[in-house]
Amino acid sequence: MTVLEAIQKSAEFLGKKNVESPRLQVELLLAHLLKLPRMKLYLNFERVLTATETDSLRELVKRRGQREPLQHITGSTSFCGYEIAVNRHALVPRPETELLAELGWQFFNREGRRVGDPNSGTATRHPSQDIPTALDFGTGTGCIAIALAAKCPGAKITAIDVSTDALALAKENAARNKVAERIEFLQGDGFTAFAADSKFDLIMSNPPYIPTAEIETLQTEVRDFDPRAALDGGADGLDFYRMLAAQAKQFLKPDGKIMLEFGDGQADAIKRIFENEKWIVEAVKEDYSQRERILTAKI
Ligand SMILES: C[S@@+](CC[C@H](N)C(=O)[O-])C[C@H]1O[C@@H](n2cnc3c(N)ncnc32)[C@H](O)[C@@H]1O
């Protein structure tokens, strides 16, 4: 069977299994198998697959047909250009979350708070001479903490998660991206792991925000493969925002900020939760699909 025939046959199979964008999915699987950039497949359409390659592709396509996420099958994904290993213990990083990470490093690297340009190799000190600090609450794969550490070489990041399995993965990802020495990983439920006088310039989180009853209605790839603890935000999906609005203030420096990702249609409720706790909501930013996605607030 040629590369082109394998793509066509497998895409037809995945289409019947209701997998979204079936042809793209097959191309990504085949590119992974043949260790080629996807675009190179187009130059190899007439190449005949070996028997081993055909068997391996069949196995990968079968798994995708059972709705296992592509990233679980290939073992990794890209987040802000950094390679992040994924498994069943942590949420697969989403493209929307890249925007949250970007807002975080812009906050650190903007005028008066510059903590180093990874491209120039220079690191300007924070005006207070303190090392700027950030907390990634609910780190999962570690994607936000890792992007922040990599883009802000002068900053120190703390990453917390309730799941020890997710933390093991996050540590592996930090090492893979050579930022392990600047991220402290803590296991804990909420803020319980922190001393009362711990203070951060920036608290970031993409907390679980799916209302419990909606979890059953999610795509199979999400419902059956992302960990429940990464999805379940309580009856109305807002439990973590109430907790963060009530408790995060104590851990923020006076001119610090909190930046939070949230789900579709949750912006107004979350804004109210924070304003009721006397936060100043500075902005609600949209994602690339023009959906309100990130709230920034200060005390
Ligand atoms: C939606 S996932 C986000 C993962 C990652 N930050 C990202 O954006 O891809 C939420 C994370 O919060 C963690 N989590 C859930 N409950 C927690 C709690 N009570 N304390 C700390 N972390 C918690 C979950 O284990 C999960 O890794």
d(CA 204, CA 256): 11
CA distances for 34 relative to 45, 112, 127, angstroms: 13, 48, 50
Question: Rounded to two decimals, what is the model's pTM?
Answer: 0.92
Pairing of strands 82-85, 133-137: unpaired
Pairing of strands 280-286, 292-298: antiparallel
Query: Structure tokens of 37?
Result: 């950039």
For residue 196, the number of C-alpha atoms closer than 13 Å in the C-beta half-sphere is 0
User: For residue 117, what pLDDT is reported?
Assistant: 45
Cα(290) to ligand 1 centroid in Å equals: 24
Buried b (16+ CB within 10 A) or exposed e, 46-84: eeebeeebeebbeebbeebbebbbbbbbeebbebbebeb
Q: Per-residue pLDDT for the chain (299 aa), expressed as one digit of tens each?
A: 999 999 999 999 999 999 999 999 999 999 999 999 999 999 999 999 999 999 999 999 999 999 999 999 999 999 999 999 999 999 999 999 999 999 999 998 874 455 544 444 444 444 445 789 999 999 999 999 999 999 999 999 999 999 999 999 999 999 999 999 999 999 999 999 998 899 999 999 999 999 999 999 999 999 999 999 999 999 999 999 999 999 999 999 999 999 999 999 999 999 999 999 999 999 999 999 999 999 999 99
d(CA 148, CA 156): 9
Cα(209) to ligand 1 centroid in Å equals: 10
Pairing of strands 200-205, 252-261: parallel
> Which residue reads 């803590």 in tokens?
186
Q: Residues enclosing ligand 1, CB less than 6 A?
A: 90-91, 93, 97, 138-141, 143-144, 160-163, 166, 189-190, 206-208, 229-230
Cα(109) to ligand 1 centroid in Å equals: 26
User: For residue 248, what pLDDT is reported?
Assistant: 97
> Which residue reads 């130059």 in tokens?
43
- Nearest protein Cα to ligand 1, atom 4: 140
d(CA 62, CA 137): 36
CA distances for 175 relative to 137, 145, 152, 215, 277, angstroms: 19, 12, 16, 33, 38
- Nearest protein Cα to ligand 1, atom 26: 230
User: For residue 196, what pLDDT is reported?
Assistant: 87
The CA angle 166-172-178, to the nearest 5 degrees, is 135
User: For residue 129, what pLDDT is reported?
Assistant: 54
